[in-house]
Amino acid sequence: MTQSLELISEHRCFDGLQRYYKHESQAIGLPMRFSVYLPPSAVKDPAQAVPVLFYLAGLTCTEETFMIKGGAQQFAARHEIMLVTPDTSPRGAGAPGEDDNWDFGTGAGFYLDATQEPWSKHYRMESYVTRELFDLVTSELPGDAARAGIFGHSMGGHGALVLAQRHRDQYRSVSAFAPIAAPTRCPWGHKAFNGYLGPDQEAWKQYDASALMAQSDCPFPEGILVDQGLADNFLAEQLYPEAFEEACKKAGQPLTLRRHEGYDHGYYFISTFMEDHLDFHAQRLK
């Protein structure tokens, strides 16, 4: 391990290792934290590269939330996949009002590179996730850059669907739980995009999964998996899975969109279908 990564803690888990790291981020310009689950084979032979799956968490979450609540490690161990979860925003950026709202600013970076002051100085989550963090875990850790996938929940589901399309050559698989699938249409998206990207709504489309897909030609021929709970309080106003479904039809993109009666927006829902998502990615990353 090089000195650029500071190991905060390490925990034995399903014969692998759950780790938490801190480092000085050049993309963000501040210290950033992320979590890693190393499967058993990566613990036994750190020189052997393994498939790597990035998970992007939702509003208010941290690098810990998914690893504690998602129940994914047992399935990652079975498939010998490394899991990586970044924080959801910079911390302590000092931007005026960054801690005033739960759905904008701290804990709500929306996985984009902000273009508007004061956010553009530190809120560069797209560059952080797709370049800096990706390079770190595929060079200083045993992630295989040629076998990388991405998935996420809510704001992180938006991030996964968007970043997978914007960096098509980097990710071989993509899935999402209850994603903000058309942020240009919903209050969360309007608030975030106005703040981070400014009033030009044409510029917003570059970070709208449905808008990107509608202009594509089957970017993921092996399919995309999305799970959505029908008892999700945010479904009607914020998520718009039907918009992404329609865009996939237009693009000829195979999509499995599963709607589940009785399930809400939280991690009880996510953990219920986590095994399916790890199986989905394993099939495409092996």
Tell me what the pLDDT averaged over the chain comes to.
97
How sure is the predictor about 195, in pLDDT bands with cuts at 50, 70 and 90? very high
What is the structure's pLDDT at 4? Answer: 86
Asked if 258 and 228 count as a contact pair (C-beta separation under 8 A), the reply is yes
pLDDT score for 3: 43
Q: What is the pLDDT of residue 2?
A: 45
Residue range 62-66: average pLDDT? Answer: 98
- Cα atoms in the Cβ-side hemisphere of radius 13 Å centred on 50: 29
For residue 175, what are the contacts with CB-CB under 8 A and spacing of at least 6? 149, 151, 160, 224, 225, 226, 227, 277, 280, 281
Residue 16 is inside which H or E element, if any? strand 16-24
Is the model's pLDDT at 233 over the cut of 70?
yes
Q: Which residues are catalytic?
A: 154, 232, 265
Q: Which amino acid is at 192?
A: A
Band of pLDDT at residue 1, cut at 50, 70 and 90: very low
